Amino acid sequence: MPENRIMLDVLKGHKSCPPPLWMMRQAGRYLPEYRELRKKAGSFLDLCYNPDFAVEVTLQPIRRFDFDASILFSDILVVPHALGRDLRFEEGRGPLMTPISAADIGRLDVSNFHQHLAPVYETVKRLRAELPAKTTLIGFCGAPWTLATYMIAGHGTPDQAPARLFSYSEPEAMGRLISILADYSAEYLIRQIDAGVDAVQIFDSWSGVLDEPGFEAFCIAPVAEIVRKVRAAHPNVPVIGFPKGAGARYAAYRDRTGVEGLGLDWTVPLPYARSLQEGGAVQGNLDPLRLVAGGRALAEGVDAILSALGSGPLIFNLGHGITPETPIAHVEAMIRQVRSFSGR
């Protein structure tokens, strides 16, 4: 493995100045070349499952911006899809699924899981061959709780009330679902690593809606199991956890899951982020809307993060995914500012 994949050094706890930089959802709708390819693909799932399309989409932001890391283009919901659940994406509505019942959980079809995801593994193999040697390739999965929220409601909701209610009214079924998702998500990440990714990230986009017992049962415990299984198979591959909205529970999440990198959303106060950095690398946490606004709002946001966190192991990123309306010129300005950072 080349020594100049600086993001991997940072994930091991080393400081880099300037810090490595990438963006969540960096391959996506803010890029005209993505929108053009999306028209040719026919559907979002065709983009995900066709290696020719998925490789091209993943490479687009690397060609344009030369980010330090490239994240596999796919979607978190390919895991429940590979377990036999229906899935479609509608413009303006996002992902749609038939809501799962307690009885349905025992009927999840695991027989073709890896065969279903074979195009994703092929995409990873091609990417590692085509990416610059210096570029870290990141694989990913959705965390079990976040996957369960979509499977139970059948779509995204403001506070994931259907999944929370299901966890209270059907605790045994919820436990089975979370366990299945943890097992197969771990297998999915291991196969991505086998195919060539350098690091993996676990996205828990809805961790912030849970109470304390729920956070322990549905966020910390299953992610810890995923990390354990991934580390048993690939002990030197770092895992980044992103429990969006975890707030004061970020420290417990890191300590009890064992993730090397901690992704921070934009609401995390920088003094608290600095204390979290004492336990290892942190990633984030620019508000994506500062990137939309540009100008002073962007410059001040970037400077605050670099000033607070630039003296420790930092991977500069957004506090959530880039939004479609983001001007490319603002992305370029952010990159220039981060890469001109010389330390304090």
CATH code of 72's domain: 3.20.20.210
Look up the pTM and report it: 0.97
pLDDT given for residue 235 in this prediction: 98
Any catalytic annotation for residue 231? no
d(CA 173, CA 177) in angstroms, rounded, equals: 6
Any catalytic annotation for residue 29? yes
Any catalytic annotation for residue 38? yes
Answer whether 86's CB lies under 8 Å from 16's CB: no
Of the residues 75, 198, 204, 287, which is catalytic? 75
Of the residues 5, 38, 164, 290, which is catalytic? 38
Residue 268 lies in a domain: no
Residue 228 lies in a domain: yes
Question: In whole numbers, what is the pLDDT of the chain averaged over residues?
Answer: 96
Tell me which residues of the chain have a pLDDT lower than 70.
1-3, 344
For tokens 């209610």, the residue is 165
Residue 48 lies in a domain: yes
In the DSSP assignment, the letter for residue 266 is: T
Number of domains comprising the chain: 1
In 3D space, the residue among 85, 145, 81, 143 whose CA is nearest the CA of residue 114 turns out to be 81
Residue 329, classified by CB atoms within 10 Å of its CB into exposed (0-12), middle (13-18) or buried (19+), is exposed
Residue 337 has which token pair? Answer: 């500012």
Residue 298 lies in a domain: no
Residue 109 lies in a domain: yes
pLDDT given for residue 4 in this prediction: 74
Kindly give the residue spans of alpha helices, DSSP state H, lying in the chain.
6-11, 32-41, 44-49, 51-65, 78-82, 102-105, 113-116, 118-130, 144-153, 161-169, 171-195, 212-214, 221-233, 250-257, 270-277, 288-293, 295-309, 328-339
Domain span at residue 187? 20-259
Residue 15 lies in a domain: no
Residue 8 lies in a domain: no
Residue 335 lies in a domain: no
In 3D space, the residue among 159, 183, 178, 157 whose CA is nearest the CA of residue 167 turns out to be 178
**The total number of residues written for the chain in this structure:** 344
Of the residues 30, 49, 121, 150, which is catalytic? 150
pLDDT given for residue 1 in this prediction: 46
Any catalytic annotation for residue 274? no
Any catalytic annotation for residue 64? no
Answer whether 52's CB lies under 8 Å from 59's CB: no
Of the residues 5, 25, 85, 290, which is catalytic? 25
SS3 94: strand
Of the residues 29, 231, 256, 274, which is catalytic? 29
